[in-house]
Amino acid sequence: MIDIKLIRENPEIVRENIKKKFQNEKLALVDEVIKLDSEWRKLKYREDSLRSDRNKISELINLAKKNKNEKSANELIKQAKSIPGEIAKVGENRKVLEEKIHKLMYSIPNIIHKSVPIGKDGSDNVVRKIIGKPKKLRFDAKGHVELGEKLGVLDFDTSAEVSGNGFYYLKGDLALLNMALINFARDSMVKQGFEYVEPPLMIKKEILDGVYSHEEINAMSYKIEGEDLYMIATSEHPLIGQFINKTLPKAMLPIKQTSYSMCFRKEIGSHGIDERGIFRTHQFNKQEMIVICEPSESYKWYDKMLKCSIDIFKVLQIPIRILESCSGDLANLKAKGCDLEAWSPRQKKYFEVTSLTNMEEAQARRLNIRIDDGKNKYFAHTLNNTAIATSRALVAIMENNQQKDGSILIPKALRGYMYGKKKIEVKKEKQ
């Protein structure tokens, strides 16, 4: 959410930003906010004036009583009795306007960073860097589903019977490889000075409203029936949610946290779920990271967080590229963002494995997270990044490390977490 002062003082900046995001249908929202804000300020002025009048009358009543002027005191008391009701009425109307303005402001996109490439949608995203050479296999590459099922380590038929589409069973060495990725990513982040946190897997709507649009909540979030609770779609949300309505001493910053959690998403929309696959599912595992920092340092942390993810995939020896999101592909809360994409030998193209976002102060403004530097209080900047989403990393490892016989080499960095095992292969039957 942007600062309403920007709409009051520089509405053209907001309009131009909306155009850059190709959301021209929202231009009318700026005029509506300006109109409602003008009405709100008149009511606020009236409310403050009434309070001032009440205080002045109270002083006059005390003075009249002191001078033993009962007639004047009684007239003033009669006048004063009508003021609280009027204050309440004006205040109620002001709050109704506040709610309307707040709702409209949630729909107006955050101001994008000046470095963001301008484009209409994902097809206009920009490749910033390619890291590692795409692997050329000397045999026909298989997909992760075929590899996993033939090795007996992926089971979609049973999960469909137990839970429906969008779920899976990981078994044996692939399940251990999944845990190896979680432990490896956690250790990598802790070595970078991030505090490890295990968060709740459910959060209140108040937190969700601070991190998601209403459309995203309906499309992504599982509601717990009869309770003000939702299953988390990412641990970023409960991590950031810890600081709702808090004012943080400057000395506490930056706050750097990392978390492993299971994540749950309905995935309703254009992408949908994989009926048979582990790339996009209702439940998955992720090691996440967040930073809450001084506004002047947020892009320094943006670069550092990106490097954390790059280093993980470098060590895993998976070819990747950095794809920067264009203006039209950035969600409304984002000021800047990019994805890491891994190479798929089967598809002969890259696919998303991590996502980095700088929200600047938009998320902190929604959640009311401020910094106190001893002189001033102001909104923090918040960033989030995927260290690793294990299901997508597993797809990358399985496809890039597959062997002609259908076995899969385990990356050297993970073998210590896999009891020294070097490859996943078909289990030999006991004689």
Q: What is the mean pLDDT of each run of 10 residues along the chain (431 residues)?
A: 92 96 96 95 91 85 81 78 87 92 92 97 96 91 94 94 93 96 97 96 92 79 93 94 96 97 81 79 95 97 97 97 97 95 94 96 95 96 96 96 96 95 82 49
Q: Assess if residue 49 is contained within a domain.
A: yes
Pairing type for strands 370-372 and 247-249 reads: parallel
How many structural domains compose the chain? 2
pLDDT the model gives residue 325: 97
For residues 71 and 171, state if they share a domain: no
CA 290 to CA 259: how far, in whole Å? 9
For residues 406 and 266, state if they share a domain: yes
Instruction: Give which of 348, 407, 386 is closest to 135, Cα–Cα.
Output: 348
Instruction: Give me the sheet containing 349-360, strands edge to edge.
Output: 126-131, 320-324, 336-344, 349-360, 381-389, 283-293, 255-264, 195-197
For residues 155 and 103, state if they share a domain: no
For residue 39, give its domain range: 4-107
For residues 77 and 140, state if they share a domain: no
For residues 148 and 240, state if they share a domain: yes
Q: How far is CA 47 from CA 44, 92, 162, 403, in A?
A: 5, 10, 60, 75
For residues 49 and 159, state if they share a domain: no
3-class secondary structure, 171: coil
Q: What is the pTM of this model?
A: 0.89
pLDDT the model gives residue 272: 65
CATH of the domain at 295: 3.30.930.10
Q: How far is CA 199 from CA 181, 212, 288, in A?
A: 19, 18, 11
> Last residue of a domain, which of 50, 73, 107?
107
Query: To the nearest 10°, the Cα dihedral for 280, 284, 287, 289?
Result: 60
For residues 212 and 348, state if they share a domain: yes
pLDDT the model gives residue 210: 85
pLDDT the model gives residue 269: 59
Q: Assess if residue 114 is contained within a domain.
A: no
For residues 134 and 212, state if they share a domain: yes
Indicate the DSSP class of residue 120: S
Query: What are phi and psi for residue 316, nearest 5 degrees?
Result: -75, -5
For residues 70 and 161, state if they share a domain: no
For residues 77 and 190, state if they share a domain: no
Q: How far is CA 418 from CA 175, 178, 247, 413, in A?
A: 10, 10, 43, 10
Query: What are phi and psi for residue 371, nearest 5 degrees?
Result: -115, 140
